[in-house]
Amino acid sequence: MQGGVRKKGDTWYYYFELAKVEGKRKKIERKGGKTKKEAQIALRKAIAEYENAGSINDVNDMSFSDYLDFWYKNYVQVQCKKTTAILYERYIRQHLKPVLGLYKLKSLNPSILQDYLNKKSVSGFSKNTVSSFYGLLSGSLKYAVHPMQYIKENPMQYVKMPRYDVLHKKNENDLKILTINQFNKITERFPLGSSFYIPLEIAFHTGLRASEVTALQWDDIDFDSNTLEVNKILVKIGPEWVFGTPKTQSSHRTVTFGNSLKKILIAHRKHQNEMKLKYGPWYKHSNFICTKENGKNVTTESLKYLSRVINYELKIDFNFHSLRHTHATMLIENGANMKDVQQRLGHSKLSTTMDTYVHVTKKMKNNSVNIFEKAIHR
């Protein structure tokens, strides 16, 4: 490989040619040192690195923005599921690069990173979102330590998650919990035959997330055991709706349902078959449970429209996640085991369930006191 050294002013530089790309050869020139010997040593080292790795990593001048691009291409797109990669790309583009991107990779320190997370917290981002930023920063910089050896240690090991005390926790009103009367009012507006009837009923009876409900297929239902399998979600990638993997490993689960939902599902399946006959060759055949009259599957975007109608037409404070919160609240208030609720909802940690439904556990504590008072005053 051709290369050499030369002096410019008081500084020695080294240079050498890289491999041809599309018939053109590129020359690299870098600062080698104050003496010719230092430049020659730097040249030999650079050539060795290039021949072993195929490229030169000028880490000293690498911006965090460029490093994030490198990490995303070489780690995220290779190791992470597609839905995670899409989320990371958005976080990097919208949140990390605008603030941290201009820093050099090697200049990032705990103070800068802590200040970044603190400001995100103070500006109103939720604990889960800030935790995602924390994990993304920690994971990307860990990769820079090993295997890349770009930096000696991960500065994120000295950074703490901003504290979210009880003032940050959601209360009962934030969770938009429905009453039975409100749910009945909603299903009266969207009865059997409506595109939204079956997703409403499934979410209310099982506590599934919107992406889990819309991904359900008839093969996921076992009518003999009254169970359904949550093994995929429905996500949009570009213009296409595709199956993705559930949120976490705990989200892969088997959920038991009662005879009420069983009857609803059987009636819905009968309705689907009637629509197949009605539409004939124009019916869009699939194995989806949640479908419109013409067989086209219901998506999470469709459910956003549903929420708008319920809010503005029925005057009920609602989003589709309200059904999940309502389901869990009803279970806990009526004595369900908290560990069972955690598993039913697909939460990775029991603390997530406890923190989310803190208002319910407070009611349970009051009930416990009342039970004791009744016991001693018989």
The string of pLDDT tens digits covering residues 70-80 is 999 999 999 88
Neighbouring C-beta atoms of residue 154, cutoff 10 Å: 20
Average pLDDT of the residues of the chain: 87
CA distance 244 to 232: 6
Buried b / exposed e along 183-212 (16+ C-beta atoms within 10 A): beebbebbeeeebbbbbbbbbbbbbbbbbb
For residues 322-339, average pLDDT: 90
Radius of gyration, CA atoms only, the chain: 29
Is the pLDDT score of 57 beyond 60? no
Contact 62, 102 (CB under 8 A): no
Domain boundaries, the chain: 3-56, 64-158, 180-364
Q: Which residues are catalytic?
A: 209, 236, 321, 324, 347, 357
CA distance 290 to 199: 6
Contact 170, 356 (CB under 8 A): yes
Choice between 348 and 139, residue whose per-residue pLDDT is larger: 139
Confidence (pLDDT) at 163: 85
What is the tens place of the pLDDT at every residue in 128-137?
889 999 999 9
CA distance 55 to 23: 18
DSSP 296: P
Angle between helices 127-145 and 64-71 (to 10 degrees): 90
Query: Would you place residue 270 in the very low, low, confident or very high pLDDT band (cuts 50, 70, 90)?
Result: very high
Is the pLDDT score of 171 beyond 60? no
CA distance 111 to 88: 23
- The topology under which CATH files domain 64-158 is DNA polymerase; domain 1 (1.10.150)
Confidence (pLDDT) at 100: 94
Q: Which amino acid is at 136?
A: L
Shortest CA distance to 89 belongs to which of 75, 103, 72, 102? 72
**Would you call the peptide bond into 147 cis, given omega within 30 degrees of 0 as the criterion?**
yes
Q: How far is CA 190 from CA 211, 288, 296, in A?
A: 20, 19, 17
Cβ burial of 156 (10 Å; 0-12, 13-18, 19+) is: buried
Is the pLDDT score of 53 beyond 90? no
- Same topology, domains 64-158 and 180-364? Answer is no
Query: Would you place residue 98 in the very low, low, confident or very high pLDDT band (cuts 50, 70, 90)?
Result: very high
What is the tens place of the pLDDT at every residue in 208-238?
999 999 999 999 999 999 999 999 999 887 7
What is the tens place of the pLDDT at every residue in 115-132?
999 999 988 888 888 999
- DSSP for 81-120, please give it: -HHHHHHHHHHIIIIIHHHHTTSBGGG--HHHHHHHHHHH
Strands 227-230 and 240-244: unpaired
For residues 274-296, average pLDDT: 95
Q: Which amino acid is at 7?
A: K
What is the tens place of the pLDDT at every residue in 180-200?
999 999 999 999 999 999 999
Shortest CA distance to 100 belongs to which of 137, 155, 131? 137
Pick the CATH number of 180-364 from 3.40.50.720, 1.25.40.10, 1.10.1740.10, 1.10.443.10: 1.10.443.10
Query: Would you place residue 25 in the very low, low, confident or very high pLDDT band (cuts 50, 70, 90)?
Result: low
Q: How many helices (H) and strands (E) does the chain have?
A: 16, 8
Question: What percentage of the chain has pLDDT greater than the value 70?
Answer: 88
For the whole model, what pTM was predicted?
Answer: 0.63
Query: Would you place residue 23 in the very low, low, confident or very high pLDDT band (cuts 50, 70, 90)?
Result: low
Query: Would you place residue 19 in the very low, low, confident or very high pLDDT band (cuts 50, 70, 90)?
Result: low
Shortest CA distance to 92 belongs to which of 64, 60, 113? 64
Is the pLDDT score of 56 beyond 70? no
Confidence (pLDDT) at 46: 81
